[in-house]
Amino acid sequence: MMSTSPLTTGKSYLLRLEHDGGLIEQITEFCKDKGIRLGRVEAIGAVKTARIGYYNQTTREYQFAQLDQPMEILKLAGNVSLKDGTPMVHAHITLADEEGKAWGGHLAPGTVVFACECLVQELNGDELNRAFDEQTGLPLWKN
């Protein structure tokens, strides 16, 4: 088990993301602009289309689903850490279609915002850097 030193809360930001913009792209750009290197993210709202991933542990590859329909964001939860010295947002999302059926997975680029309210909370503590993990094939925290 890896653990960091205790964290304290830094600045918190409420964002209204832009209509027709990329969901993960906008949050990532905000973190880069504000210099947020460690944090947490959550959001609610709706998307016009979504791209979500499932990591296949056997093949060690993401399998992506393209959902070309309007959907509600029931919950987006994620974190901010560093990959190659740059802020990276890692988030998972749960979406609902018009019948209330849920879809979920790793939030991937290509998810287009209809309307979205987002909380980005900066955390103060040891930076977390992502690097390739041999055991899983994923870029995991390596501090």
What's the whole-number mean pLDDT along residues 13-18?
98
Percent of the chain topping pLDDT 70:
99
Residue 1, pLDDT above cutoff 90:
no
Report pLDDT digits (tens) over 73-88: 999 999 999 999 999 9
Q: Say how far apart CA 29 and CA 80 lie, in whole Å.
A: 12
What's the whole-number mean pLDDT along residues 37-57?
98
